[in-house]
Structure 1
Amino acid sequence: MILRRAFRSSVTRSPKWLRRCLGETHGAVAVEFALVAPVFLSMVMGILDIAQYAYGQAVLRGAVEKAARNSSLEGANTATADAKVRNAIRHVLPKADVRSSRSSYFDFSDIGRPEQWNDANGNGTCDNDENFTDENGSGFWDPDIGEDGNGGANDVVVYRVEVTYKPVFPVPYTTRDDGLRVVSASAVKKNQPFANQDDYGSDVGTCVDP
């Protein structure tokens, strides 16, 4: 109360032009809008950006699951399956760069495991003239035994798709340095047993230092 009376008293004793300025309210709405608008617009853009990302991720997962399932059938056309994934995601993420890969394994337990070798020096890498079994027939030791491609009958296939796109409603500091964002999805399916499954190779090779 004392402060309020002091303020009123100081205003009363102020020059006429200052009292006029203190009582002027024209343009207050414009000032308030200038203060609130950037925050409000940033929130709206952020919501739209997150919504586009979440929707794109959901569409990609569904398309990848369907493509992986279709590719597990006898006579499956993987190029057609990949094209359907691209068409599905580009409806949500326009002009997106879609890249896919497939790795096949004999069994689920083989996913991500290296080819067998005698790790004499215990460093986790085949080197120093250590012997290895060329199970996938590549001619050299592989830290991942998987073979590129859709495999054969009864093989387990890991299907991965990575999508790089430019957000329609980009929010600063949420994208890569080039302004792009990445979403990805993967699916693991076992091919139908439409024929006899090929086993891994048993040729022996020797690893040398690079």
Structure 2
Amino acid sequence: MIRMLKGNRTIRSFARDTEGAALTEFGMVAPILCLLVMGIFDLAHTQYTSVLVNGAMQDAGRNLTLESAGSQQSSIDQKVIDQVQNVVPANATVTLEKLSHFDFSDIGEAEEFDDENGDTICNNNEVFVDANGNGTWDANRGSTGIGGARDAVLYTAVVTYPRLFPMYGLAGMDQNVTVRAATVLRNQPYDEQDRSTETGNCP
């Protein structure tokens, strides 16, 4: 009987002992807290990168509208790349694309064709307007490059880099971040716009 009483006291004493409770609780909360903190920093860095890329594109867009832009494309592109690489890891990839169009309304539009069979597909030797002059029908009628006078140009940058914090696995996120920015500009009217087009036949 005396042994049972002593045993009960020991159990009650052990139950009232709270030493180490804070460490145990912290061990349970720490992973979630770390994930939250890293996620906030990751989101903030992504937003900052996006703002910087958009700003660099706007600045480059203004320079590309000038008549002298043809000889300065590489230096303008490099300036964008240099600005982006200041805030992203060294192994980041920066892809720049320029597509010129006759007008703003042409951006993102497919080349027109005579849909004789009504299937909305360019085929069966149907005639199409070869707006970009590459000899084939394209879902995007833009021509590679900045074009000529008065042309509307879509200038796009795609930046891809690995996340700065190793929390993507815990959160089920992609290992890489992709930031996309674009600006639309119109070349200065330093000459008459070339609106000549050719036709081709769909395959």
Aligned counterparts of 2:128 and 2:29: Cα–Cα separation in 1: 66
SS of equivalent to 2:10: helix
**Cα deviations by residue, 1:127-180 (Å, 9 ceiling, x for unpaired):** 11111232322112222211000111111000010000111124334532xx11
Counterpart amino acid of residue 184 in structure 1: R
Report the equivalent of 2:64.
71
Give the RMSD, CA atoms, in angstroms: 1.7
Is this contact kept in 2: 1:153–1:192, CA < 8 A?
yes
2:74 is the counterpart of 1:59: no
Is this contact kept in 2: 1:175–1:181, CA < 8 A?
no
Larger Rg: 1 or 2?
Answer: 1
Counterpart amino acid of residue 90 in structure 1: Q
Aligned counterparts of 2:101 and 2:166: Cα–Cα separation in 1: 40
Tell me which of 15, 19, 43 is aligned to 2:12. Answer: 19
Which stretches of structure 1, 4 residues or longer, exceed 4 Å deviation after superposition? none
Structure 2 gaps of 5+ residues are none
Is this contact kept in 1: 2:130–2:136, CA < 8 A?
yes
Is this contact kept in 1: 2:131–2:142, CA < 8 A?
no
Counterpart amino acid of residue 35 in structure 2: S
Tell me which of 177, 185, 190 is aligned to 1:189. Answer: 185
Counterpart amino acid of residue 22 in structure 1: A
**Cα deviations by residue, 1:58-91 (Å, 9 ceiling, x for unpaired):** 1111111111111111111121121111111122
Aligned counterparts of 1:32 and 1:174: Cα–Cα separation in 2: 25
Tell me which of 31, 35, 39 is aligned to 1:42. Answer: 35
Report the equivalent of 1:205.
200
Structure 1 gaps of 5+ residues are 1-11
TM-score normalised by structure 2 residue count:
0.88
Aligned counterparts of 2:129 and 2:68: Cα–Cα separation in 1: 31
Query: Share of identical aligned residues, percent?
Result: 39
TM-score normalised by structure 1 residue count:
0.86
SS of equivalent to 2:67: coil
